[in-house]
Amino acid sequence: MMFQDPAGAVRRGGAPGLANVAPDNPIWIRFARAMGPFMALDAKLVAERASDPPPRRVLDIAASHGLFGIAFGQRFPKCHITGLDWGAVVTVASENAAAAGMAHRYDTIAGSAFEVDWGKNYDWVLLPNFLHHFDRRHVPNYCVARERLWRRAVGSPSSNGSPMTIEFLHQSRRCSR
């Protein structure tokens, strides 16, 4: 159902039925489990882009399957990962962290990235494949909301840290002045 019209999904900014802004919709659990295998290599390549000093703390926003944060944890054995996503979805990330032998270095925050307290002093804040799920129809002041989220991510890392986003956005969904 989700992949019957991929070109149309790109034009519309999402597939029908994805419940883009519905927290804890069961489709997101299915989505997280299905997308994990597709994202494993991308996650590893992103973690390889991190440079010295090795990160001690990484926040993975919209963690879903958790593989982006887990890749950082695998590359940097002393790194602690926090996965943030809706409550029902973040359990998938926790399961994957446990399967990777990282349960003791993986915490979660359940809730909306737009609303919950993330904490501070992360060396990296990851926003992988997240922003494209929100559009002008579902998020009031869409561009402002995305900009606030990005500014929050920029302000969350420690003095040596960085935010990182991995996104595919259609030209019409950009927010530029």
All structural domains of the chain with their residue ranges: 38-47+54-167
CB neighbour list of residue 21: distance below 8 Å, 6 or more residues apart: 133, 134, 138, 139
Q: What is the pLDDT of residues 159-174, one digit of tens each?
A: 566 666 666 555 555 5
Q: What amino acid is encoded at 156 in this protein?
A: S
For 38-47+54-167, CATH number?
A: 3.40.50.150
pLDDT tens, residue by residue, 13-47: 555 554 456 677 788 888 889 988 889 999 999 89
Average pLDDT over residues 102-126: 91
C-beta atoms surrounding 81 within 10 Å: 29
The whole-number average pLDDT for the span 139-166 is 68
